[in-house]
Structure 1
Amino acid sequence: TLDMKFSSLVTLISVFSFVLAQEEWLNPSCPQICDCRMTEWVAPTPEVVTSWRKTEQCRNVKDVSIPDDAEVLNFDGSSRIKIPQLVQRMAELNNVVDLSLTSCNLSSLDSGWKSTSLLRLNLNENALTEVSESSIRGFPNLEELTIERNILKHIESSTFRNASNLKSLQLDSNLLDSLDWLNGTDGLNGLTKLFLGGNRLKYPILVNGTFSKLASLRDLVLDGMGIRRIKGGAFKGLELLETLDLDGNALQSIPSEALRFLPKLKFLNMNDNLIKQLGDKSFSEMRNLVSIELTNQPELRLVDDRSFFNLKSLERVLLFGNPMLSYIGKNAFVSCPELSLIDLHDTMIESLDKDVVDGLPSLVSIEMKGNPINCNCVMMWLKDWLVDQTARDKVVCASPPRYRLSRLVDVNDNDVTCAPTVQPTFPLRMVVPDTQQVVLNCRTFGIPQPKIVWFLSSGDIIRNQTEAQRHQMSLDGSGTLTILKPKSGDYACTAENNRGMASRKVSVQVLHSTTVKVIYTDKVEPISVFPSWEVESPEYNISLLEPQQTYK
């Protein structure tokens, strides 16, 4: 058509014009040791703006002549460059919007820097120990500042007092041990992206109001900071936050109370933490959440009912690589109409109740590769649910013995049983102080639903809450036994139906000390360290080190 021909002509003319412009800028004043050309440039703003900029790239230079009309300067790797001369030349240029000085062996950011046109400054991989208010003041229109992999140790609250135009601040992998400076500055109220990963906090707790001055923040990255606890008001004021990265910390539970202050949150990454259990409404009905990542949790055993309750926008949940995860509650994903992916590969999941997927109209994929699947009648529904051939080939049986290494889809429905199984949702051994309650989550599979009974080493049997109270314990309807005043001994959860019986035992040793707080897993490894003393026996080998600071 005529319109298509005209459109093609316009495109051809645009390309030809760009080539001419590029060739024109390549000639006049570009130093021979540099590469000068037009490059595509993305502005450091929330709204992505792409344009073509005159770019000069010079590596490992000492003296360089910068063309007057240059817009993007890249001196990465130029450890010999003369910074005073560069500072003076920058003040004379009115078009430079982007300056990169990665790996230039900078030890300080001279207060003489000045550029009213600069929008982006990259100082990665240098030796900067501080950034002063006077040095930032020289870039009044700066929108993106990147100082990753330096040795920044401290930042004053006044440093960014005059940085109202700053949109992105990246300070990953430095030596910052405190975030107090964030709460003391009013200059970052326009910031939309903050990256602080890899800075190990001296006191690994996010306190109330830590980010209260950052009302415009959309993306917050706090990975690898050693965070152990997040107080309820730590995220107060971040009502526009959409992405939160808490990867690689030491959190033992979901900070549900703190997450309530993030109504717009879409993407949550909590991979590589120490989460032990997901329970009722762990995510506080966060209706804008699209993706939750909880992979590589070495202590996560249980995802209980209503863990992901009423998450109307949730599309994917990643739970793979959790070596102790053995149970997903049948009502774990209630009211998640958009959920399309549940990734459970490489966990200890043996069985998955059909009720888990019922009521999930958008669910397309359940990843189960690498799990010790028990191909009993509980899992037969999955044969029909798996439509994709690749997915069908991945689900391989670990039990019963006659079907070991067989594909689930090859199992004869009439040749499997519905006898009970007890999932390893509690450890085999525990060492605890006498001041700490012990919670044992017993979860079972079987058809019909098995009845749970607890046996004590004393010979007593606990079938219901009334019997539990006699022993200063509590038993709920899901099979969780809470021992209010623990005593040393064996506790066994037994599941029984008309097809058979199964049992799992835990040995609990109580240590009479008010200072000890030690929890053991199946590997019998201490989680915390306390005053120096030792206990040794054929079953336990405990070595506790010197006292460390504890946090409440």
Structure 2
Amino acid sequence: MLGILSTVIMALISVAATCPASPCECLDNVTVSCPDKRLKKFPNLPDGTEELYVAHNLIQAFPTSGLEQLQFLDLTKNHLNVSLTSNSIWPNMSSLVKLFLRGNCLGSLGPGQLQGLSALTFLDLSENHMEALHPGSLRGLGQLKTLILTLNQINSLQYGALSGAPALTDLHLSSNSIVEFEEGVFENSSKLVKLILSKNNLVSIGNGTFRGAVNLSHLDLSGNRFDFVPVAALRVVSQLHSLYLQKNSITFLPEDAFSELSHLRILVLNNNRLSRIAEDSLSGVFHLGQLDLSYNNLQSLPSEVFQYLGRLELLDLYHNNLTFLPEDLFHNLTRLRELQLDSNKISSIPSGLFHMMSKLRELQLANNQIADLHKALFSSLRSLRKLYLDNNVLSKIPRGLFHKTKYLRELQLDNNHLRSLARSIFHGLAKLHSLKLFNNRLTAIHPEQFSTLGDLRELLLNENLIEDLPTGLFSELRSLKILDLDNNRLKTLAPTAFDGLGALKELHLSFNQLRHLPYAIFDSLDDLRRLLLQNNRLVSLHPHVFAPLADLQELDLDNNQIELLHPVMFQGLHHLQKLHLKSNRLRTLVNGTLEHLESLKILHLEGNPWDCSCRSPILYINNWIINNTQKLQDEPMCTSLNRPISQPAHLLKPCVSFACCPRNKFPLEMLTVLTAWLLGICFL
């Protein structure tokens, strides 16, 4: 054991002895790290160094030697432009595999300038000032696989620019100023798999531009200036799997636009100006799995436009101007799992539109103008997990609409015109986790409305016209975490209103008309964390109404009419962190009222008519505030004196005298003075 320890110590000493002086750090025998140390030159490297991290320094030049064994070199954000020009000779780095030169303000490379880097597989030249990639610039880089030239100023790619790098698989040219490619520029790029040309100034691409890139599978042409699909140029890249054409100005998809791309899996066309799509525009793309047509100007779709897409799993038509959907539009989309139709102008939906979508898991129909739903509309959607019908103009839900969607997890019906709900409308949705019904016109809820929703976690009923909670309404919701009843017309609550909600974490009752809370109203909510009761008409509270809420962290009683808080009101609320009491009718707090709140961090008290006269026990809250200044988030004021109640006591009690005190009580201040005077006499 001693021998092993000695060996380790000697090794550490050896590393320390050969490591460059501070501020560099030797992470192991082969790695030196000196990022962001304001170095102006390369550190001296110990023999055997293979990795050097010197990003974010002030290095201006390569050393003439000493880098022969390096395999990884990060020179991101240095000043190599000072010494490197297109004629500079680079040092011997024949073992280098990865080189990062991002953000060095480098100009263009000269022909053969990198030919000494014969082992290089990864080269990052992004965020420099390169205006071109000249023919021969990559000569000698026979092992190079990834070349990153993003965020430069390249305006064209000339024939021969990629010669010398026959193994190139990934080429990143996004965020340049490219307007054209010379024909044949990719003719020796048979290994190229990914080509990123986004955010350039391309208007068109020549028919033979991609000739030679026979294995190209990922092509990104997004963020350019195309107003049509470069159909002819795409025909030579038949192995393409992903094509990105979003954020252009394409207005029309012609017939057979992608017919040669039989291997295409992803086609992205969002944020264009598409107003028309030919019926056979998607012919030939039999393997397409994702199609994004969102953020366009489509008003209608040919009934057979998706007939070739039997393997499609995601279809996004979000934010178009669709008003009507043909009944057989989706008849061949039997594998579809997600359909986005939200934010259109759809007013009605044919009853058989979704009949072939037994595998659909998410359906977005929000933000349309749908007024009515056929009761059999979702009868085939047996795999549906998420259904969004919010922000429409629905006034009723037909009976049986959800009876076949037994695996539904999330249902949004908020922001509609619903006035009532059938008693059994949600029956059978035993796996539902979230139900949103807020901002409708519901006036009453049937006692059995939610009786089968045992897995429900979130129920939002806020912003309705509900006046009463029937007995047992929530009794089966034993998994519920959030219940929101804000902004209704509740005037009273039964003592058993929330029975069964033992898992509830948040209860929202704000902006109602509650005048009273029954003594036992919260008895079953022993796991509650947030209770919001602001903007009601509460006048008085039972001293022990909050006693069961031992884990409560936030209590909001703002904007009520509370006149008095019993000193044991908050007893037991040891975890309460936020207490809101502003804009009530409190004149004082009785001694000890806040002493139980050992975890309190935030308190609001302003907007109450605090009585700071000498007959008021205001000194308690005055002292509490002085000792807990950081917890008070506002500035409560004395009503009569127009002064903050946090001011020193003698400023709040200017009337201290015999006259202001009860005749049968001796003033405490006078008693203190008299006691001190008598003690003084005794010691003389």
TM-score range, shorter chain: 0.5 to 0.7
Q: Is 1:97 equivalent to 2:338 in the alignment?
A: yes
Matched, 1:396 2:613: no
- After superposition, the Cα gap between the structure-2 partners of 1:378 and 1:411, relative to the gap in structure 1 and judged at 3 Å, is same
Letter in 1 for 2:556: L
Within 2, Cα distance between the matches of 1:389 and 1:414?
Answer: 17
Task: Tell me, yes or no, if the aligned pair for 2:565 and 2:589 is still in contact at 8 Å.
Answer: yes
Q: Which residue of 2 aligns with 1:36?
A: 268
User: 463, 473, 477: which is aligned to 1:224?
Assistant: 463
1:372-420 deviation digits (Å, cap 9, x = unpaired): 2223552323334335656658333233x3x32345234427826899x
Q: Is 1:305–2:543 an aligned residue pair?
A: yes
Matches of 1:206 and 1:497 in 2, distance apart?
Answer: 59
Task: For residue 158 of structure 1, give the secondary structure of its aligned residue in structure 2.
Answer: coil
The question of whether the paired residues in 2 share the 8 Å contact of 1:58 and 1:74 is answered with no
Whole-angstrom CA distance in 1 between matches of 2:427 and 2:194:
43
Counterpart AA for 2:553? E
Q: Residues 115-126 of structure 1: matches in 2 within 5 Å?
A: 115-126=357-368
Deviation at 1:259, TM superposition (A): 0.3
2:610 counterpart residue number: 373
CA distance in structure 1 between the partners assigned to 2:421 and 2:470 by the alignment: 14
1:250 aligns to 2:492 (yes or no): no
Distance in structure 1 (CA, Å) of the matches to 2:586 and 2:195: 59
Which deviates more, 404-413 or 251-260?
A: 404-413
Higher normalized contact order (CA 8 Å, seq sep 6+, divided by chain length): 1
Q: Deviations over 1:461-513 (max 9, x none)?
A: xxxxxxxxxxxxxxxxxxxxxxxxxxxxxxxxxxx99699xxxxxxxxxxxxx
User: For structure 1, which segment, 271-280 or 73-82, has the greater mean C-alpha deviation from structure 2 after superposition?
Assistant: 73-82
Hey, what's the Cα distance between the residues in 1 that align with 2:244 and 2:445? 55
**Structure ranking higher in strand proportion:** 1
- Residue identity in the other structure for 2:592: D
Query: Residue 404 of structure 2 corresponds to which residue in structure 1?
Result: 162
* SS at structure 1 position matched to 2:340: strand
Of 408, 414, 419, the match for 1:177: 419
- Structure 2 match to 1:506: none
* In 2, Cα distance between equivalents of 1:238 and 1:161: 19
Whole-angstrom CA distance in 2 between matches of 1:19 and 1:285? 61
Matched, 1:342 2:594: no
Q: Does residue 1:351 correspond to 2:351, yes or no?
A: no
- Per-residue CA deviations over 1:284-317 (Å, capped at 9, x if unaligned) read 25111000011111x2222231121121211000
The 8 Å contact of residues 482 and 507 in structure 2, kept in 1 or not, is answered as: yes
Give the corresponding residue for 2:38: none
Question: Is the CA contact (8 Å cut-off) linking 2:294 and 2:320 kept in structure 1?
Answer: no
Q: Shift of the alpha carbon at 1:32?
A: 2.7
Residue 363 of structure 1 pairs with residue 600 of structure 2: yes
Q: Any unmatched runs of 5+ in structure 1?
A: 40-51, 420-446, 449-495, 501-552
8 Å Cα contact 2:623/2:646 also seen in 1: no
Change (3 A) 1:270 1:497: farther
User: Aligned partners of 1:18, 1:241: CA distance in 2, in Å?
Assistant: 48
Superposed CA deviations along residues 54-82 of structure 1, whole A, max 9, x for unmatched, are 74413321356679576554434433455
How many residues are aligned here? 403
The change in CA–CA distance for 1:497 and 1:309 in structure 2 (over 3 A counts) is farther
Whether the 8 Å contact between 1:310 and 1:334 is mirrored in structure 2 is no
- Bigger Cα displacement from structure 2, 277-286 vs 265-274: 277-286
In the superposition, relative to structure 1, how do residues 168 and 22 fare at CA in structure 2: closer, same or farther (>3 Å)? farther
Distance 2:514 2:506 in 1: 18
2:434 aligned with 1:193: yes
User: Using the alignment, how far apart are the partners of 2:565 and 2:434 within structure 1?
Assistant: 35
C-alpha distance in 1, partners of 2:543/2:194?
60
SS at match of 1:84: coil
Q: Which residue of 2 aligns with 1:134?
A: 376
How well do the aligned residues superpose, as a CA RMSD in angstroms? 4.1
Alignment of 1:198-213 (within 5 A): 198-201=439-442, 204-213=443-452
CA distance in 1, matches of 2:475, 2:434: 16
- 1:338–1:362 CA contact under 8 A, matched in 2: yes
Question: In structure 2, do the counterparts of structure 1 residues 414 and 140 end up closer, same or farther at CA, with 3 Å as the change threshold?
Answer: closer
Q: Give the residue type in structure 2 aligned to 1:36.
A: V
Provide structure 2 residue ranges, at least 5 long, that are not aligned to the other structure.
1-26, 34-52, 54-71, 75-97, 99-123, 125-145, 147-169, 173-192, 197-217, 221-240, 253-266, 272-288, 668-684
In structure 2, the CA distance between the partners of 1:19 and 1:304, relative to structure 1 (3 Å rule), is farther
Secondary structure at 1:378 match in 2: coil
Corresponding letter in the other structure for 1:301: V
Separation in 2 of the partners of 1:375 and 1:241?
Answer: 45
Residue 353 of structure 2 is matched in structure 1 by: 112
After TM superposition, list the pairs within 5 Å mapping 1:490-505 onto structure 2: none
Rounded Cα–Cα distance in structure 2 between residues aligned with 1:232 and 1:371: 36
Partner Cα distance (2:346, 2:293) in 1: 20
> Is the CA contact (8 Å cut-off) linking 2:322 and 2:344 kept in structure 1?
no
Instruction: Give 2:242's aligned amino acid.
Output: W
Show the counterpart of 1:272: 511
TM-score scaled by length of structure 2:
0.52
Q: CA deviation at 1:176?
A: 2.5
The verdict on how the C-alpha distance between 1:349 and 1:164 changes in structure 2, with shifts beyond 3 A counting, is: same
TM-score w.r.t. the length of structure 1 is 0.63
- Paired amino acid for 1:232: T
Closer, same or farther in 2 for the Cα pair 1:330/1:28, shift >3 Å? closer
Distance (Å, rounded) in 1 between the aligned partners of 2:638 and 2:194: 62
Tell me the equivalent position of 1:25: 242
- Structure 1 or 2, whichever has the larger Rg, is 2
Letter in 1 for 2:564: Y
Q: Which has the higher helix share?
A: 1
Deviation at 1:88, TM superposition (A): 2.2
Shift of 1:364: 2.0
User: In the alignment, what sits opposite 1:315?
Assistant: 553
Instruction: Give 1:22 deviation, angstroms.
Output: 7.7
Stretch deviating more after TM superposition (96-105 or 344-353): 96-105
CA gap 1:81/1:397 in 2 versus in 1, 3 angstroms: closer
- How is 1:460-479 mapped onto 2 (pairs within 5 angstroms)? none
Cα deviation, 1:158-204, whole Å, max 9, x if unaligned, reads 211110111111111323222334x3654311111111123323xx4
SS in 1 for 2:617: helix
Distance in 1 (alpha carbons) for counterparts of 2:346 and 2:564: 52
Q: Secondary structure at the match of 1:394?
A: coil
User: Hey, what does 1:261 align to over in structure 2?
Assistant: 500
Q: Quick check: 2:325–2:350 contact (8 Å CA) kept in 1?
A: no
CA contact (8 A) 2:604 2:632 kept: no
User: What is the SS of the residue equivalent to 2:332?
Assistant: helix
Q: Where does residue 473 of structure 1 map in the other structure?
A: none
Percent identity, please. 21
1:417, 1:368 → 2: CA distance? 25
**1:31 deviation in Å?**
9.4
Match of 2:393 among 123, 148, 151: 151
> Structure 1's 207 and 256: CA in aligned 2 closer, same or farther, altered over 3 A?
farther
| Secondary structure of the corresponding residue to residue 638 of structure 2 | strand
**C-alpha deviation, 1:108, in angstroms:** 3.0
State which of 546, 565, 568 in structure 2 corresponds to 1:328. 565
2:343, 2:366 within 8 Å by CA — same for their partners in 1? Answer: yes
Q: Is the 8 A contact 1:418 1:499 kept in 2?
A: no
AA in 2 matched with 1:32: I
C-alpha spacing 1:110/1:217, structure 2 compared with 1 (3 Å): same
Query: CA separation of 1:38/1:154 partners in 2, compared to 1, >3 Å: closer, same or farther?
Result: closer
Deviation at 1:100, TM superposition (A): 2.7
Aligned amino acid, residue 353 of structure 1? V
